[in-house]
Structures are given as C-alpha cells and as structure tokens.
C-alpha cells in the first residue's frame, strides 16, 4: 500500500496550465495503452482457458468414443470424439463379466457403509473435542492430530489387520481408517463457528450432550457433513490398493477399481490372448472393454459432483484454516 | 475464558456422555493408529513370523546398514525425492497460476463452467487416470498423432519404454488431475482480498497484469505458505499409486519409490524387517521435513503450522 501512495503523490505534483494539458494527454495515452494491454490479456486468458478445458475433457470424451466403438476397428487408431463403428458390445461384455458385477456390488456397499460410519464417528469425535468445557479436550485433540503425521507404515499395518482377522473380509474396507484426523478437524472448525448461545439455551432447557449433538448441532452442520460424506465416498469409490493387498485371495470382495486395474494391466502387458479369446465375439478388445468399464466407473461421480460444488469448496476452505 | 476446568466427581458425572464416547473412539484410535507403531521393533530384529515380535532375535541397526548399502534403495530414495519435489513445485505453480487467471475471467458463466470442469479429474481414480494416459501416449494415441502431424517425429514414440519421459509424465499427470482442485483454496483466498486495494491500484494506473503482481499475489501469500508447509511433509508420500501403475520393467530404475520398495520387499518377498526399516526411514524424513519447513517459516516471520 505504501507503494501505491507514493505513486499517487508522484503523479499529482502542482502543475501549470500547459503542463497540465500535456499530462492529461499523456495520461489518456497511457490509459489507451493499458486498455490495449488488458485486451491482449483477455484474449490470451480466454485462449488459455479454452485450452485448459480441452486438455481436461478430451481424454474423457475420447474414452467415451472408444467405449462405443467396435473394438478391432478402434485398434486402427484415429478415433477422437465420435465413434467410427458404433456398437454397444463393449458395454454388454462388461455387464456379462461376473467379477465386474461383484466388484460393482462391493464398491457400492463399501461406499455406502464406509461413508455412513465415517460420518457418524468423525462427527461424534469433532463434537466432543469442540466442547470447551470437556476435561480431556486438549489431550484428545493432540491424540488425533499426531496420527496425521506418524503412522506405523505398510507392513506393521498389514500384520495388524491380519492379526485382527480383517484380511479376506469385507470389513477391512470400512473399519480401519474410518476416523481421519483431517476430516474430524474440518467438522470441528465448523462446529466451533456455531454460536454458543444455542447450546446454552438447550442446556437451560435440560438437554444433555447427546440431545444437543443430535437436535442442535447436527442439523446446523449439514453442509460440512455433506462435504465430508463426499470426500469419504469418493475415497471409497476409488480405492483399489486395499482390495489388492488385503483381499487378493478373496474374489468375492473384489472392487470395481481393482477389476479395472486388472483390465489395464492385461492391456499394457499385451498378454491379451486369453482375454481376447474369451471375448471371441471378435469385435471387442481389452482396450475397448476397459473404455466401457472406465465410463461406467466414472459415471456416478461425474453425475454427482457438480451439484455438491458449494459443499466441497466450503469444506476445503475450512480445512485450510487452522485454529 | 481461560479458567482451568476442575476435575471433580460432579464434572465427570455431567460429562459422562462425552467421556464414554471419547473413550471408545480413543480405544479405536489406539488400535488402528498407535498399535502399528509397535511393529517398528521389527526393523531392529531378524523378524520371523513364527516367532513374532516378542521372540524374534534383535540385530540392532543391521537391517538399516543393509538397506543403505543396497544400491537399489539409494536409487529409490533419489526417485522418491525427485518426483516428490518436481510434483510439489509444478502442481503448486500451476494451481496458483490457474486460480489467478480464472479469477481474471470476466464472464461469470465462463468462470463457473471452467471451474466445474476443472474439478472433474480430481474425482477420477489413479487407475482411470493412468488408463487414460496409456491411451493418450500409446503409439496410436493423440500425443503421437499430434507430434507426427506437426512433423516433429516420423514414428510414434513409445513413451513408457524410455526412462527420460517417466518423471515428466508423472508430473503432468499430477498437474492434470489436481490443478483445478488445488486452485479452490487460492480462489477462496483471492475473493477475500479487499476490493479497495484493486481500486487503489486502478487509480494508480495499474493494468491487470500489474494488479496480479502487486495485489493478488501478495494477498494470497499467507495461504501459499501455509499450504506449502502442509505439503512439504508429504513430499515422500506422493510416490506410490501412479508410479506403481505406470511403472514397468523398462523404466524401473527411475519409477521405483520407497513405498513400492517396501511393498516389494515386505509383502512380496516376505522380508518384513527390511520393509519396515525402509518405512521408518520414510516417516523420519517426513517429520524432519515438516519441522524444518516450520522452522524456516518461523525464522522468516511467516505463518507457520505449529
């Protein structure tokens, strides 16, 4: 700001008449120049934004086109945004693959249960550490914040799950990692912003902690709950590593993303003969089937996220604000 | 406000609900976040699954010595650090630049549309993103297509067979996936800048470019620093999914990261001790990085994390 003031002083020295005219003309010229510069800026910026949108959307639209295109025909290349030889066979093949159906079922289940569990536990914990009068408030906060920076690592965690008999079960997807300190802190920050007079009024009416949580705080926290639900749901939907690591031997607990990964490696390894023969309909290839599976996997998310924009923007902004 | 809460029977009775729920969640946290830490003992043992942690033979730092005399592991450290730092720098710059430029878009409709589209890749899994990358960079993919049409190359490049392309591909994938998402927080910071500052700059004859440099950037500086600090500790964590999914035998020397090394030695080869030692090394470096970044920020009088 100091800089700005200096500039103003420099520009407005006491002037004689003719000087003033000159200055005015110079200022007008400068304005014109500035606006020309601004115009160039606008044009460049618009081009940049269009390029950005194209680079973001093209791969997705291209996958969509390939998913509707005849598999063998697609191998020739040259398919951009519109299918050349339209077919639904890729999707039909996907629907007939038992492991993909199982994967989809498990993925939906883990997303629903995992999101619900995470929401309830994180909300309760956030409520507890946001009560200013709670005797262990600081200790409990610290206990969870530490988990953000220190963890046992892959192998000790793997052994723990094995000892708890969580491996080769569905529960390994939803029970560990339910509480995340980050999500909890986001909810807590939001709860801290709720006026204390509301809880005090409820307390005078004789409401206990549980009632206040359910009837006073939670209804006001709907936006932040939606944010966290979205974060967790996306995480659950996109997970594959836990399926590979903990449930490799249990095909009945496979997930959609893990099946998609297997499809991808079958394409990249070109060890496709077995796969291709299985689909001896002749017109589908691993690549085209994978495209169809990819579209099916991303569809639910693409349909939902635009409507939740305001929620996750709020959530992220809250997360970035430290206490 | 700062009065100390007395712990007496009456308070405990009043806070019964909080204590019970807090206790249950602490037990949960202890089991899933603190209990695995006891597994760190394995790094100092010749761990045998049949003996367990209690009866395995202690070998001191022998496993760490072996780890650091392994040429592969040294390469793995280099890869992890290099990709972590490249990704951090590149995604930071693009997110900030994107936020600033998007803020300059005058049409509200255009702004909203671009922003909505920019979030999309964040919601896609790495499986999908790497699949898309494979398609785009394949011999018949769009990238080779454009390169050939422009006459830059005569024949499609096999991007996944040459080591020099791997790090840039990983960096680009990160930028593609996260730019829009990372920009959210900067856009929020930009909106909170006092409009009077922009007006004052306009009166001084500042063009849009000058306003970006002298008003917007200084305005979001605290946010940039806080996020940089939060991410420095994560530099070593940024290296698993994409490298695991994109890597192959041909580029192994530049694609393997600490996490992949741990997975390979620990789970596939069953050498839990060496895998755990590598994991501990990673955790320690991360913590040192966070503390260092915090100290630097503190000394230069900037915002800090703790």
| Domain identity same for B89 and B233 | yes
In sign, the C-alpha dihedral spanning B69, B72, B73, B77 is: positive
Q: Rounded to whole angstroms, how far apart are CA atoms A250 and A302? A: 30
Task: Show the tokens assigned to A68.
Answer: 């509707």
Task: Show the tokens assigned to A195.
Answer: 């006026």
Residue B51 placed within a domain: no
| Domain identity same for B78 and B107 | yes
Residue B163 placed within a domain: yes
| Domain identity same for B177 and B236 | yes
- State how far residue B128 is from chain A, nearest Cα, in angstroms: 6
Residue B219 placed within a domain: yes
Task: Show the tokens assigned to A271.
Answer: 């060890």
Q: Which of B123, B212, B270, B289 to mutate to test the interface with A (most CBs of A within 10 A)?
A: B123
Tell me the chain A residues in contact with residue B245 when contact means C-beta distances shorter than 8 Å.
Answer: 261, 264
SS (H, E, C) chain B: CCCCCCCCHHHHHHCHHHHHHHHHHHHHHHHHHHHHHHHHHHHHEECCCCCHHHHCEECCCHHHHHHHCCHHHHHHHHHHHHHHHHHHHHHHHHHHHHHHHHHCCCCHHHHHHHHHHHHHHHHCCHHHHHHHHHHHHCCCCHHHHHHHHCCCCCCCCCHHHCHHHHHHHHHHHHHHHHHHHHHHHHHHHHHCCCHHHHHHHHHCCCCHHHHHHHHHHHHHHHHHHHHHHHHHCCHHHHCCHHHHHHCCHHHHHHHCCHHHHHHHHHHHCCCHHHHHHHHHHHHHHHHHHHHHHHHHHHHCCCCCCC
CB B65 within 8 A of CB B71: no
The answer, yes or no, to whether ipTM is higher than 0.90 is no
CB A55 within 8 A of CB B172: no
Mean pLDDT in residue range B52-68 = 88
Q: Interhelix angle for A309-320 vs B217-232, to 10°?
A: 80
Q: What is the DSSP string of A32-92?
A: HHHHHHHHHHHHHHHHHHHHHHHHHHHHHHHHHHHHTB-HHHHTT----SS-SSB-SHHHH
Domain A89-320 has CATH 1.10.3720.10: yes
**What pLDDT, on a 0 to 100 scale, did the predictor assign at position A7?**
35
Instruction: Report the SS3 class of residue A298.
Output: helix
Residue extents of the structural domains in chain A:
15-67, 89-320
Residue B306 placed within a domain: no
- State how far residue B152 is from chain A, nearest Cα, in angstroms: 18
| Domain identity same for B32 and B78 | no
**What pLDDT, on a 0 to 100 scale, did the predictor assign at position A4?**
35
**What pLDDT, on a 0 to 100 scale, did the predictor assign at position A26?**
58
| Domain identity same for B30 and B109 | no
| Domain identity same for B15 and B79 | no
* Domain count along chain B: 2
Question: Is residue B236 predicted with pLDDT exceeding 50?
Answer: yes
**B268 against B181, higher pLDDT:** B181
Domain membership of residue B134 as a residue range: 62-299
Question: Is residue B120 predicted with pLDDT exceeding 90?
Answer: yes
Task: Show the tokens assigned to B109.
Answer: 């409709």
Q: Is B40 on the interface with A (CB under 8 A)?
A: yes
Percentages of chain A per state (helix, strand, coil), in multiples of 5:
75, 0, 25
**What pLDDT, on a 0 to 100 scale, did the predictor assign at position A17?**
45
Residue B180 placed within a domain: yes
| Domain identity same for B89 and B19 | no
**A173 against B206, higher pLDDT:** A173
Q: Which residue has the tokens 């066979």?
A: A89
Nearest by CB to B5, from A133, A298, A305: name it.
Answer: A133
Residue B280 CB neighbour total at 10 angstroms: 22
- State how far residue A281 is from chain B, nearest Cα, in angstroms: 23
| Domain identity same for B135 and B208 | yes
| Domain identity same for B25 and B121 | no
Q: Do A57 and B120 touch (CB under 8 A)?
A: yes
Q: What is the pLDDT of residues A219-268, one digit of tens each?
A: 999 889 998 999 999 999 999 999 999 998 888 999 999 999 888 777 66
Q: What is the DSSP string of A247-292?
A: STT-GGG--HHHHHHHHHHHHHT---HHHHHHTTTTT--HHHHHHH
| Domain identity same for B118 and B255 | yes
Q: Which residues of chain A have pLDDT under 50?
A: 1-18, 270-280, 321-323
**What pLDDT, on a 0 to 100 scale, did the predictor assign at position B27?**
96
């Amino acid at each position: 700001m100091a800089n700005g003031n200096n500039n103003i002083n420099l520009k407005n020295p006491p002037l004689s008449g003719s000087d003033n005219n000159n200055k005015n003309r110079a200022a007008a010229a400068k304005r014109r120049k500035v606006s020309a510069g601004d115009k160039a800026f606008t044009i460049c910026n618009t081009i940049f934004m269009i390029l950005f949108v194209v680079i973001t959307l093209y791969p997705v639209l291209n996958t969509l086109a390939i998913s509707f295109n005849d598999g063998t025909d697609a191998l020739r290349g040259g398919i951009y945004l519109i299918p050349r030889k339209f077919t639904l066979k890729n999707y039909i093949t996907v629907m007939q693959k038992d492991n993909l159906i199982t994967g989809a079922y498990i993925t939906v289940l883990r997303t629903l249960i995992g999101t619900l569990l995470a929401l309830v536990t994180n909300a309760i914990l956030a409520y507890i550490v946001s009560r200013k009068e709670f005797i262990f408030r600081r200790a409990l906060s610290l206990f969870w914040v530490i988990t953000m920076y220190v963890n046992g690592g892959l192998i000790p965690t793997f052994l723990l799950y094995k000892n708890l008999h969580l491996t080769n079960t569905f529960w390994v997807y939803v029970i560990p990692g339910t509480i995340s300190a980050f999500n909890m802190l986001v909810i807590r920050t939001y709860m801290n912003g709720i006026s204390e007079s509301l809880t005090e009024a409820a307390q005078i009416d004789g409401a206990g902690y549980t009632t206040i949580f359910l009837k006073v705080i939670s209804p006001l926290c709907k936006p932040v709950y939606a944010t966290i639900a979205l974060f967790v749901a996306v995480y659950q939907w996109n997970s594959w590593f836990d399926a590979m690591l903990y449930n490799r031997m249990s095909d009945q607990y496979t997930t959609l993303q893990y099946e998609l990964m297997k499809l991808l490696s079958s394409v990249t390894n070109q060890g496709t003969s077995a796969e291709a023969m299985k689909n001896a309909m002749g017109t589908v290839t691993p690549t085209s089937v994978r495209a169809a599976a990819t579209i099916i996997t991303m569809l639910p998310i693409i349909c939902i996220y635009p409507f939740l924009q305001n929620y996750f923007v709020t959530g992220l902004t809250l997360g970035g604000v430290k206490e | 406000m700062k009065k100390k809460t007395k712990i007496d029977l009456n308070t405990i009775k009043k806070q019964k609900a909080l204590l019970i729920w807090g206790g249950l969640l602490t037990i949960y946290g202890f089991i899933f976040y603190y209990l695995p830490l006891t597994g760190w003992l394995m790094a100092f043992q010749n761990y045998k699954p049949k003996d367990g942690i209690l009866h395995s033979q202690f070998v001191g730092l022998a496993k760490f010595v072996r780890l650091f005399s392994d040429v592969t592991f040294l390469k793995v450290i280099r890869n992890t650090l290099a990709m972590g730092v490249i990704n951090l720098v590149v995604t930071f710059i693009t997110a900030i630049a994107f936020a600033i430029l998007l803020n300059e878009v005058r049409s509200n409709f255009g702004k909203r549309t671009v922003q909505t589209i920019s979030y999309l890749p964040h919601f896609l899994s790495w499986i999908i993103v790497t699949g898309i990358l494979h398609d785009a960079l394949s011999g018949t993919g769009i990238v080779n297509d454009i390169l050939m049409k422009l006459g830059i190359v005569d024949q499609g490049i096999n991007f996944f067979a040459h080591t020099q392309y791997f790090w840039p591909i990983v960096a680009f994938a990160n930028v593609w996936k996260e730019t829009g998402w990372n920009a959210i927080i900067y856009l929020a910071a930009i909106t909170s800048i006092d409009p009077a500052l922009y007006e004052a700059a306009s009166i001084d004859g500042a063009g849009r470019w000058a306003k970006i440099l002298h008003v917007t950037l200084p305005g979001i500086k605290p946010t940039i620093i806080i996020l940089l600090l939060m991410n420095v500790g994560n530099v070593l964590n940024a290296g698993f999914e994409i490298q695991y999914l994109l890597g192959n035998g041909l580029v192994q020397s530049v694609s393997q990261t600490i996490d992949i090394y741990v997975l390979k030695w620990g789970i596939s080869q069953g050498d839990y001790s060496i895998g755990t030692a590598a994991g501990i090394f990673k955790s320690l470096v991360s913590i040192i990085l966070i503390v260092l970044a915090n100290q630097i920020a503190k000394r230069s009088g900037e915002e800090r994390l703790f």
